[in-house]
Each structure stands twice: as structure tokens, then as C-alpha cells.
């Protein structure tokens, strides 16, 4: 099973490989990817360095181009695909039909992975993407139960990748409209669910205030850990209750360490760690734990158990310092 880790910059990329990642995924420094935050991502020159490092270490490197082009701005997305082809990237991660078509027609040698943003959840969808664009792999949405993953893996015409650890999303896998409503900018085309120019942190009466485009989305004490500045994970008061509560989503991270045997048995080929916006320290901590867990399972598959210290280490870097199996453990359809 491949351990696929995030890299928001060269430091995180080197950290991920050194900690045991088999592959990393990253994006260019523009709105062609869904983590277009200031200070993150790679210029074409930095991307060349990243590819060189990956090849020197014998690891894989995938370029994420998973946003949807704005009208009359498609050229920027096409250029990103051409750059990836020129650099001989190991794969592109994409969702937009026109981009898949462009890459397939112009660079048929370039492996294509279907992004989670395509939300492909069934045989018909995967077969269509395989037939039309010859995708090699699909990233499954985090809405499927473990049974549904197993059932799909039995008939899938392409390799399957699943999210193994990191933030969850209550929208249709990243297609966020809450942020568009508050900021007027779409994450699906602009690449950022909380554009940096709209985020403000303030201190007020001993509290830390988080605002997104002047909308207060969270308040915490000075000694409390501040949450990620997104609308879905903000805490709010209502006309009936002045005590702020998480109305949409509590800060919680997905953690599927205990599912490694089931995912391996199902035939899932890649376990993805979320978090290109996270620090190199986060990448190192999470990658080391998952490397250790996967290696332990591969060495002792019949006696594998999820070790307490692995979960404790992951809890420390999880949102809200809590984790869940999410939809994987859902019993209802």
C-alpha cells in the first residue's frame, strides 16, 4: 500500500520523504489547485527541484490540478498540465472533464488520477472516466462506508485511493459554497476556501477572534487552540442561545489506522494524508506514524493491532485533538 503525503513546500516534501512517504502530492503557486494559499505551493522552478528530489530518492510525485477553470481563463490550467508533462511527473490529479480531455489528448503518456472533487462513487462513473480519459486511479470521496469501498473495489476498472487521515469536509468533497457566500470567491475556481485577504485574527477582551470577510466565525480564549478559519468549522450563537456552538461541523480529523487491514484486503492501493496547508512538523509526525503502522501491518498482517501510542500521536495534531472513522463506520446507506 502506498503512503501518499501532502507537501505545501519543499521543506514539507523533503520531510515527507525522509519520514517514509512513498509519494507526495503538491500544487503550483496559483489557482489551479484547491490549496491556493499565500506562502504555499511551488513555482515551476521549485517544482523542477521537487521532481529532481523525488527521482533521486526513488519516490513518486503527483501534481494536483483539481480546481475548475474560470471562463476564458482555461489557458492557465492547460499550461499547468503542459508543465507537468515537461517535468515527467508521475501523475496528475484532476476532476474537470475538459482538463482530463486536454491531458489525455495532448499528453497520453501522463498518468491521470481522478481527484476526489469528481465525487465518483460507483462503477459506472469510474468506467466512464477510464473509457474516455484512461485514468489509472480514482480518489474515493469520504462519503462511502467501508462496505461500499469493498463492494466498489471488487469491480473497479482502476486503482483506488482513499483518504486515511486529516480534515473532513461537509460539502460535496471540497466543492464549498459556504466560503463563496461569505467571501464572494469560489474555492472551486479560486483554489482557496478561506482566501488569505479575507481572514483576520484579532484580540478582544482577552479572547481571540477569527473573522472571515468581517463575519465572526470563531472566538476562543488566549490559551485555547484556534481552529481552522473556515465557515463550516466556526462556532456560532443563535437568537435562542448565546452560548457559541459548532452548528455545522465540529473540528475533528479522520483517522483510519484501525482500518488498515480492511483497506488492504479490499485492494485499496494508496492511503492519502490530507494537509498541504499544514506545517512540515505536522507532515513529519503524521507520516512517521503511518509509515510505522503500514510497515507493521505488512510484516505481521495476522496479528496487527492499532497501537495506542500511534493514536495518541495523531490526536495531538488532529483538529480539536479528536478523531473519527467518519463515513467508513456508517452502518446506514
- Pairing state between β 235-236 and 245-246: antiparallel
Strands (DSSP E) contained in the chain are 2-6, 23-26, 60-65, 91-94, 112-114, 137-139, 159-167, 199-204, 207-212, 215-221, 235-236, 245-246, 253-255, 270-273, 323-324
Residue 247 phi, psi (nearest 5): -85, -30
Phi/psi class of residue 165: alpha, beta or left (left: φ > 0; alpha: ψ in -120 to 50)? Answer: beta
DSSP state, residue 166: E
- 169 appears as a binding residue in the annotation: yes
C-beta of residue 10 within 8 angstroms of C-beta of residue 26: no
Chain Cα centroid distance, residue 16: 15
Q: How would you label 85-119 residue by residue, b for 16+ Cβ within 10 Å and e otherwise?
A: bebebbbbbbbbeebbebbbeebeebbbbbbbbbb
**How far is Cα 250 from Cα 182, in angstroms, rounded to an integer?**
19
- Is residue 232 annotated as involved in ligand binding? yes
Alpha-carbon span 25 to 151, nearest angstrom = 27
Contact indicator for 319, 251 with CB cutoff of 8 Å: yes
Residue 236: beta bridge partners?
245
5 annotated binding-site participant: no
State the binding site for [4Fe-4S] cluster: 169, 176, 193, 232
State the binding site: 169, 176, 193, 232
Amino acid at each position: 500500500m502506498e503512503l501518499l503525503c501532502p507537501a505545501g513546500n519543499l521543506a514539507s516534501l523533503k520531510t515527507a520523504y525522509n519520514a517514509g512517504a512513498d509519494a507526495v502530492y503538491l500544487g503550483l503557486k496559483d489557482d489551479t489547485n484547491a490549496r491556493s494559499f499565500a506562502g504555499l505551493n511551488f513555482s515551476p522552478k521549485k517544482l523542477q527541484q521537487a521532481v529532481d528530489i523525488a527521482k533521486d530518492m526513488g519516490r513518486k510525485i503527483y501534481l494536483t490540478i483539481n480546481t475548475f477553470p474560470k471562463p476564458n481563463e482555461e489557458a492557465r490550467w492547460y499550461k499547468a498540465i503542459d508543465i507537468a508533462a515537461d517535468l515527467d511527473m508521475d501523475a496528475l490529479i484532476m476532476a474537470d472533464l475538459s482538463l482530463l480531455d486536454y491531458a489525455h489528448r495532448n499528453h497520453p503518456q501522463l498518468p491521470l488520477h481522478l481527484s476526489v472533487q469528481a465525487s465518483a462513487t460507483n462503477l459506472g462513473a469510474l468506467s466512464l472516466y477510464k473509457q474516455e480519459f484512461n485514468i489509472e486511479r480514482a480518489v474515493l470521496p469520504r462519503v462511502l462506508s467501508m462496505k461500499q469501498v469493498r463492494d466498489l473495489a471488487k469491480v473497479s476498472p482502476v486503482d483506488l485511493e482513499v483518504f486515511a487521515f486529516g480534515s473532513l469536509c461537509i460539502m460535496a468533497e471540497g466543492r464549498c459554497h459556504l466560503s463563496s457566500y461569505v467571501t464572494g470567491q469560489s474555492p472551486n475556481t479560486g483554489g482557496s476556501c478561506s482566501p488569505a485577504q479575507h481572514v483576520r485574527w484579532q484580540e478582544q477582551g482577552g479572547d481571540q477572534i477569527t473573522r472571515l470577510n468581517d463575519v465572526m466565525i470563531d472566538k476562543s480564549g488566549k490559551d485555547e487552540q484556534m481552529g481552522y478559519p473556515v465557515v463550516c468549522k466556526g462556532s456560532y450563537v443563535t437568537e435562542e442561545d448565546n452560548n457559541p456552538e459548532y452548528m455545522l461541523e465540529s473540528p475533528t480529523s479522520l483517522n483510519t489506522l484501525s482500518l488498515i487491514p480492511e483497506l488492504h484486503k479490499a485492494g485499496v492501493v494508496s492511503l492519502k494524508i490530507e494537509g498541504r496547508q499544514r506545517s512540515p512538523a505536522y507532515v513529519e509526525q503524521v507520516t512517521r506514524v503511518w509509515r510505522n503502522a503500514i510497515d507493521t501491518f505488512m510484516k505481521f498482517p495476522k496479528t496487527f493491532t492499532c497501537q495506542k501510542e500511534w493514536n495518541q500521536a495523531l490526536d495531538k495534531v488532529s483538529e480539536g485533538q479528536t478523531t473519527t472513522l467518519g463515513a467508513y463506520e456508517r452502518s446506514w446507506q
